[in-house]
Chains A and B, each alone.
Chain A
Amino acid sequence: GAGVSQTPSNKVTEKGKYVELRCDPISGHTALYWYRQSLGQGPEFLIYFQGTGAADDSGLPNDRFFAVRPEGSVSTLKIQRTERGDSAVYLCASSFLAGGTSTDTQYFGPGTRLTVL
């Protein structure tokens, strides 16, 4: 596809349930990022993958949050025992990592809006 895609676009779940959010990056992009955007705020970093491995997971709020990228392409963000405070838009971005610096542009998907009732 032309851009980053995320599924589902909307997810409503009940407190305590498990959810999975999927991100399909731009083909050929080696770096993949997850961010969380709460209402009225800017996106906040969660985790960054370089290839298949999590290069930086320092933004994950607690051990209920986990993400994988087993083949270096599609990534899944997993949230266990969801809480009402997890309600937010979860954004995925990918980049090419040209030159190995932080100057490469991150391309964002439209996000998944998670609502925990």
Chain B
Amino acid sequence: AQSVTQLGSHVSVSEGALVLLRCNYSSSVPPYLFWYVQYPNQGLQLLLKYTTGATLVKGINGFEAEFKKSETSFHLTKPSAHMSDAAEYFCAVTTDTGRRALTFGSGTRLQVQP
């Protein structure tokens, strides 16, 4: 079985500041890791995913994440926050064994202050 922990249910940053959203996972087999964003009254949208290969993954809207196996982490970063980044962010994990479905963390709500 796998699980995801997102530290910090709410994160507030100033516009132009670094965004760091934390995600740690637990999995007994190699994981596939995803970050999704959810804007109010909209469906989840994929930001980026790690499957195999390069551990630094670049996604849409200037976001990136680094898979660190030794730390079981997949933190999401963006160098400079924009007001439009305000949303809920979910980290998720799946593997090639067991169920195919995604296991999500509880989410982090990002606020961007002007």
Interface residues of A (CB under 8 A from B): 3-4, 31, 33, 35, 40-45, 48, 55-56, 58-59, 91, 93, 101-103, 105-111
Contact = CB atoms under 8 A, between A and B. Distances in A.
Interface stretch (B13-21, B69-77, B100-108): B100-108
23 contacts: A33-B101, A41-B106, A42-B4, A42-B104, A42-B105, A42-B106, A43-B44, A43-B90, A43-B102, A43-B104, A45-B101, A45-B102, A48-B99, A58-B99, A91-B43, A93-B44, A103-B51, A105-B46, A106-B102, A108-B36, A108-B45, A110-B43, A111-B43
A109 B45 CA distance: 9
Q: Which of B44, B90, B103, B104 has the most CB of A within 10 A?
A: B44
Interface residues of B, number: 26
Given A3-B43, A4-B43, A55 B107 contact: no
Interface in B88-114: 90, 92, 94-96, 99-107
A110 B41 CA distance: 7
A41 B44 contact: no
Contact of A105 (B49, B95, B96): B49
Interface in B31-73: 32, 36, 41-46, 49, 51
Contacts of A41: 106-107
A45 B107 contact: no
Interface of B: 4, 9, 32, 36, 41-46, 49, 51, 90, 92, 94-96, 99-107
A91 B44 contact: yes
Given A3-B43, A45-B103, A59-B101, 16 more contacts: A31-B100, A33-B102, A40-B107, A41-B106, A42-B92, A42-B104, A48-B100, A56-B100, A91-B43, A93-B44, A102-B95, A103-B51, A105-B46, A106-B46, A107-B46, A108-B36
Contacts of B105: 42
**8 nearest CB pairs, A to B:** A42-B104, A45-B101, A108-B43, A108-B44, A103-B51, A102-B94, A110-B43, A42-B106
B101 A42 contact: no
